[in-house]
Amino acid sequence: MSWFSHSPTPHRVQTEEEAFWYLNLTSEQQSAYEKFHEHLQQTSALLAGHDDRYTLLRFLKARQWDVGRATTMYQNMVNWRKEHRTDEVYQTFTFEEEEAVVAHYPHFYHKCDRYGRPVYIELLGQADPARILEATSLERLLDYHICEWERLKRQILPACSQLAGRPIITKCVILDLKGVSMKSFGTAAQRILRAVAAIDQDYYCESLGQMFIINTPTVFRLIWAVVNPLLEDRTRRKIAILGSDYLPTLTQLVAEEDLPACLGGKSERQDMRTNIGPWTEVVLQASSSGGAAVAPAAGRQCGDSAQGGEGRCGAAVEPQAVAVAADAAAAAPAEPAPLPPANG
């Protein structure tokens, strides 16, 4: 049993069936999807670019397959995107202070886990929330955060889907708490956490596959008391809490050669600005039925420098890329290749 309330079994790693729940629907879940899709169509509530099967399934799962509640959540997302002009922010936002923010908030994507999901890492023991808010405003930090979400949806997940040969719609997250103290979760951190948690859970729901919290310090109980109220139960169930002896559990899901050296892995490649993964190497071709290819393109993107240098976004991707990649992946053989052994 876990030693803090409302948590999963601390060392539990997701099974493949759990990771790919959206490919293994029950008859009741499929029926709920059909009703949900039909209702949104009939009421003209579907938002272009966010009307594919996997997006709708995420909202249904987030509301326990209740069509009425999922409809409300989906409509709230649509309204938020229109009010916040999310597509425009993604295309035009320039984060000149990115380098200063990354210096006080090390975070990056690094390769994929054994299920083909992108691995996102935050070194929270090196983070300084107060310095972050000195380098930028909370409003601009949230716009940057939204751009990172959009990059995940438009660029990273399609590339991972293409490489895996099946739809990848979630990510694996590693939070390293080495060096964290209660000072790390002061007023500035709580302001950021509240704002980010609301965006993540309300508008980008069910995008987390699994989260590993490693190197948990002795003050973690107190830290969890701050973080716990900000999380929904569905998010808590995906969190595995590990101490300093985390590698035997973590490497069940992330191969040692794909884990950065700073976390005890064998991958020496680590770049907290451009990140490392198939999204930087794979050019997505259009499916045989048609559609635009996804390829690196010139142009200022969120995270690019004012001088036009390549930043964290790195490539321009058409909004339909996720659907194209998912369709291509769905056309692959129904039986996926077995995962490599946990030690290899």
pLDDT of residue 168 exceeding 70: yes
Write the CATH number for 61.
1.10.8.20
Q: What percent of the chain has pLDDT over 90?
A: 60
Is the domain of 134 the same as that of 72?
no
Number of domains composing the chain: 2
Is the domain of 29 the same as that of 67?
yes
Write the CATH number for 250.
3.40.525.10
Is the domain of 145 the same as that of 283?
yes
Tell which of 87, 106, 136 closes a domain.
87
Better-scored residue on pLDDT, 65 or 317: 65
**In degrees rounded to 5, what are phi and psi of residue 118?**
-65, 140
Q: pLDDT tens for residues 113-158?
A: 999 999 999 999 899 999 999 999 999 999 999 999 999 999 999 9
Is the domain of 62 the same as that of 173?
no
Is the domain of 149 the same as that of 223?
yes
pLDDT at residue 210, as a whole number: 94
In a domain, 1, yes or no: no
Region 265-290: what's the mean pLDDT? 66
Is the domain of 187 the same as that of 45?
no
Better-scored residue on pLDDT, 23 or 241: 23
Is the domain of 75 the same as that of 125?
no
pLDDT at residue 181, as a whole number: 78
Region 280-294: what's the mean pLDDT? 46
115 touches 16 (CB < 8 A): yes
In a domain, 305, yes or no: yes
In a domain, 23, yes or no: yes
DSSP H helical segments within 49-128, as ranges?
Answer: 53-62, 67-84, 86-92, 98-104
pLDDT at residue 238, as a whole number: 84
Domain that holds residue 323: 94-330
Could you tell me the CA-to-CA distances from 156 to 72, 159, 216, 303 in Å, in that order? 28, 5, 29, 15
Is the domain of 265 the same as that of 184?
yes
Tell which of 87, 107, 126 closes a domain.
87
The C-alpha atoms of residue 173 and residue 118 are separated, in whole angstroms, by 8
Q: What is the mean pLDDT of the chain?
A: 80
Q: Where are the beta strands (DSSP E) in the chain?
A: 107-112, 118-123, 171-176, 208-214, 239-241
